[in-house]
Amino acid sequence: MCTMCPKSHYSTPKWWKEAVVYQVYPASFNCSTHTSKTNGWGDVTGIMDKVPYLKGLGVDIVWLSPIYTSPQIDMGYDIADYKSIDPRYGSLSDVDLLIRTLRDHDMKLMMDLVVNHTSDQHSWFVESARSKDSPKRDWYIWRPAKGFDDDGNPVPPNNWAQILGDALSAWTWHEETQEFYLTLHTSAQVELNWENPEVIVAVYDVMKFWLRRGVCGFRMDVINLISKDQSFPDAPIIDPSSKYQPGEQFYTNGPRFHEFMHGMYDNVLSKYDTITVGETPYVTDIEEIIKTVGSTAKELNMAFNFDHMEIEDIKTKGDSKWSLRDWKLTELKGILSGWQKRMKQWDGWNAIFLECHDQARSVSRYTNDSDEFRERGAKLLALLETTLGGTMFLYQGQEIGMRNFPFEWDPDTEYKDVESVNFWNKSKELHPVGTEGLAKARTLLQKKARDHARTPMQWSAAPHAGFTVPDATPWMRVNDDYKTVNVETQMCFPWQSKGELSVWQYWQQAIQHRKLYKDAFVYGGFEDLDYHNEKIFAYLRTSADGKDSWLVVMNWTTSAVEWTVPSDIHVTRWVSSTLQTAPPVAIKSSITLRAFEGVLGCCN
Ligand code: GLC
């Protein structure tokens, strides 16, 4: 037990700990058919239409990626007005109705809070850019040029690269007032200056606006980047071939980050009963993280940790998103079990997730998305996620095992995300057509682009997968596999005669099971077994009172594997397998798991 937390609150029940949160990526979720907005963009009414569907799956909270007014340079993460809804998605009254509809189903709505930066179209920035004397000048981070180069071009204040386009400077030049402003993600996303107390008050105001409307909390976008090292030093040169360098060490969990978060808690969050989850990239140190998510931290309930999401990255060049390596099962086990144990020891709380809108599809990354193994892999991941401790987040399409779109899709037209487009453009500049370098870039896109999570939700085998009406054109191409991989087919799957559940049916059952035995699965202890086994991922989840104890065993390979149950573990019955509805095998000291099969045993 960590000495900092003699009295643990880890197992203290809270609604937000037990909740199943479902992330909706609104542009790609569902287009309403009974409104006039049948333009191939999902909308709020379309989400409302699916509330009963989500309820049926076992969802408690719907988290919406941003639907606020935005020029959509970064798909709504560039907000031009925090208090209005982008007309593409609907209106404020649609959101009010969504909140009411969710409430009628005993569900809640969580919003995305993007307050590290605004769009350059936000009236605050327009005002700030008007002149150096603007009352809002100091709401953003303005700096003079370091100098001018031989051609008379202004040189940025430091060498930081943009996060979503590392060939570009994180500083954008403003011709009219002859100064740079800081834009860490894209040139259209301007860093708010949290050093200015007026900005902080404005952020509180936005939060209260949404909480009063009835939302239950926030996912906070790159919230740990809000405090920057005010000396704005040059970043060390990690990639000598690049003009700009990753600067995250100077703006991640910066000098005043915890002060800002305490302020937000004291002034806003403490006055409501909320769920809060921070998106906190670049930080992996438990002592630092616990300052945010510790049960007595008075900052956030939990934060997304990206260690497992970055398992394929080669970590030599700073932010190494565009790299790929093979990894071993023991590495994944180490990361996941490490966080399970650490959070309990340190009295924090985990946010469990395998997918989100910024990552390729989990079945393609962690298992095998071939036709032969996709369903097995998806169910294996469902068993994993529903048996890990923490608050569970499910991303749209994960419940049917949606996979990455094919390699053959044209990188010049089918990838819409600004990060992918920047990467592909840079790759084309660096590597001529036909070279190995360009082929590698294309492979990286197919494996890692955020676009794979953003293709339209596959509802049925109807045109456009039922995402929109037949004569509309979806904003992103629907994955080619929608005729077989879709909600309708999987919900109607004849499991009785097949003796097996579809991916959707398995998720539904697994969520129910998690809720029924939440003392073990949500709040319980975690013990890993056979840690060095590269084929089998096995662990025990046990409730604090020891009454509920469950054994999870997963075969992470494409062939059958025999596994010996440790002699001190007494399985009283095998409850389920991901591959058959009938309970598996009689109790023996060893079990054989088929390719990508997972089983659950009761040890009470
Ligand atoms: C977060 C969002 C991502 C966005 C970025 C900038 O990482 O999840 O989609 O591009 O912040 O807002």
CATH 3.90.400.10 domain position(s) in the chain: 123-191
Q: At residue 234, what are phi and psi to the nearest 5 degrees?
A: -65, 145
How far does the centroid of ligand 1 lie from the alpha carbon of residue 236, in Å? 24
Give the C-alpha distances (Å, rounded to integers) separating 115 from 34, 127, 305, 319, 507.
34, 17, 19, 22, 34
The tens digit of pLDDT for each residue in 583-595 reads 887 677 889 999 9
Helix crossing, 436-448 with 418-430: angle to 10°?
A: 170
Cβ(358) – ligand 1 distance below 6 Å: yes
Cβ neighbours of residue 423 closer than 8 Å, sequence gap 6 or more:
165, 322, 441, 444, 445, 449
Higher-scoring residue by pLDDT: 403, 241: 403
Paired tokens of 29: 């979720």
pLDDT of residue 525: 97
Summary mean pLDDT of the chain: 96
How far does the centroid of ligand 1 lie from the alpha carbon of residue 521, in Å? 30
Beta bridge partners of residue 529, listed in sequence order: 538
How far does the centroid of ligand 1 lie from the alpha carbon of residue 41, in Å? 20
Give the integer Cα–Cα distance in Å for 267 and 253.
20
The tens digit of pLDDT for each residue in 46-74 reads 999 999 999 999 999 999 999 999 999 99
Nearest CA to ligand 1 atom 9: 358
Cβ neighbours of residue 316 closer than 8 Å, sequence gap 6 or more:
238
Scanning 269-405, the segments in alpha helix (DSSP H) are: 286-293, 329-345, 362-366, 374-386
Cβ(222) – ligand 1 distance below 6 Å: yes
Work out the average pLDDT over 143-163: 97
Nearest CA to ligand 1 atom 7: 222
For 525-602, which CATH superfamily applies? Golgi alpha-mannosidase II (2.60.40.1180)
CATH 2.60.40.1180 domain position(s) in the chain: 525-602
Residues marked active site are found at 221, 279
Cβ neighbours of residue 60 closer than 8 Å, sequence gap 6 or more:
18, 19, 20, 21, 106, 107, 108
How far does the centroid of ligand 1 lie from the alpha carbon of residue 78, in Å? 9
pLDDT of residue 241: 87
Q: Is the pLDDT of residue 199 over 60?
A: yes
Q: Is the pLDDT of residue 536 over 70?
A: yes
pLDDT of residue 523: 98
Q: Is the pLDDT of residue 317 over 70?
A: no
Residue type, 285: D
Cβ(78) – ligand 1 distance below 6 Å: no
pLDDT of residue 38: 63
Q: Is the pLDDT of residue 318 over 70?
A: no
CATH class of segment(s) 123-191: alpha beta
Helix (H, G, I), strand (E, B) or coil at 174: strand
Residue whose CB lies within 8 A of the most ligand 1 atoms, among 187, 358, 421, for a mutation test: 358
Cβ(185) – ligand 1 distance below 6 Å: yes
pLDDT of residue 34: 66
Nearest CA to ligand 1 atom 2: 221
Cβ(74) – ligand 1 distance below 6 Å: yes
Cβ(17) – ligand 1 distance below 6 Å: no
Helix (H, G, I), strand (E, B) or coil at 591: strand
With cut-offs at 50, 70 and 90, classify the pLDDT of residue 3: very low
Contact 475, 40 (CB under 8 A): yes
Q: Is the pLDDT of residue 315 over 90?
A: no
